[in-house]
A and B are shown apart, each in its own frame.
Chain A
Amino acid sequence: MIDVLDTIERWRAEGQRVAVATVVGVENSAPRDPGAVLAVSERGAVAGSVSGGCVESAVYEEAQDAIATGRPRLVSYGISDADAISVGLTCGGTIHVFVERLDW
């Protein structure tokens, strides 16, 4: 969160809504530890990351949807999951990401 804090504050100061995606769990080998954050602004800008780049675009879609609907969700990506093969977690682990609109 610390690495994207300034960017989130700037977006909020501009009056933009923001979604935050946080790695809340990892299994086996994963490039980012729990706590890693990817933030998305209402206008579609991105800061931070939740993986080595492999699931960022899928998380980005979830974040955009969270901004629009306000609905939080827990999403998982990993080799055991057909969905994850399509997004391709190159490192072979599983990550769990909590995505929410920052309205707190």
Chain B
Amino acid sequence: MTLFERLAEALHADRPVALVTRIDGPQAGAKLLVFDDDVSGDLGTPGLNVAGAGEARALLAVGETATRSFGEDGEPVGVEVRLFIAAYAPKPVMYVFGAIDFSRAMARIGKYLGYQVTVIDARPVFATKQRIPDADEIVVAWPDEFLAKAPVDTRTALIVLTHDVKFDIPLLRVALRTEAGYIGAMGSRRTHANRIEELRAHGVGDDDLARISAPIGLDIGARTPEETAISIAAEIIALREARRGGRLSEGTLPVHNARTPASLP
């Protein structure tokens, strides 16, 4: 099996894998394919293989692709060899709580953005594949109980569409204990004011309350489930990039954030 075939197999199976390539010098093109528990290929020296594999695993953990410089035998301070490390991490996860019309649109745009989408609702009648065809998975469970056991990392998006205090409060309390990168909760300003009051009564502090995006989404005047899903999706991207949202034509910042870690000198 060639390296490419092994890479393709892993990508099809959504298995974490990184491809390390020497990008300059006479050995440009030399490759190392790095899995959690396995390595194949050769970058030229044993030290370089060890250093490349270590860096590849570190980047895999955060889902980042970057170029790194090393010495001829992988010395960390060297600059002789540049390695491009393409990390193919599993898709980030989006959990959508509540199986309503908005969830159908949210699941669809979540998939479109590259998320693995799970929809959770305690009501078996509503939590069906027919109602939400785009979800990767539909789970009948109490939202807070589900989330307490679900894997969450900094790339995870939690979309709370239940907008019912009896589900929202226990769920948001669990959500705030995770490191999820996005926590959004649907509901009017008044609904959210009530939620804040309840959460404070449970001892939730201001820093945690500020993590909740509510009312959910960017201010684009969205009305339909589809429009609302777009406004939520845009807010997820804007928060990840530390942007305010709004019109580029009225701003002065560069259109794309600089990706310094990946830049070449």
User: Smallest Cβ distance from A28 to chain B, in angstroms?
Assistant: 6
Cross-chain contact A1 with B263 (CB below 8 angstroms): no
- Is A62 an interface residue when CB atoms closer than 8 A count as contact? no
Q: How many residues of B contact A (CB 8 A)?
A: 29
- Is A25 an interface residue when CB atoms closer than 8 A count as contact? yes
Query: Which residues from chain B contact A28 at a C-beta distance below 8 Å?
Result: 254, 258
**Cross-chain contact of A27 among B19, B255, B264 (Cβ < 8 A):** B264
Bound complex: CA A17 to CA B19 (Å): 20
Cross-chain contact A5 with B8 (CB below 8 angstroms): yes
Bound complex: CA A33 to CA B31 (Å): 21
Interface size class of A (residues with CB under 8 A): 20 to 34
User: Smallest Cβ distance from B28 to chain A, in angstroms?
Assistant: 5
User: Smallest Cβ distance from B4 to chain A, in angstroms?
Assistant: 6
**Cross-chain contact of B4 among A31, A73, A104 (Cβ < 8 A):** A104
Query: Which residues from chain B contact A30 at a C-beta distance below 8 Å?
Result: 256, 259
- Is B66 an interface residue when CB atoms closer than 8 A count as contact? yes
Please report B residues at the A interface, Cβ cutoff 8 Å: 2-4, 7-8, 11-12, 19, 21, 23-24, 28-29, 31, 41, 65-67, 84, 86, 88, 254-256, 258-259, 262-264
Please report A residues at the B interface, Cβ cutoff 8 Å: 1-2, 5, 8-9, 12, 22, 24-31, 33-35, 72-74, 91, 93, 96, 98, 100, 102, 104
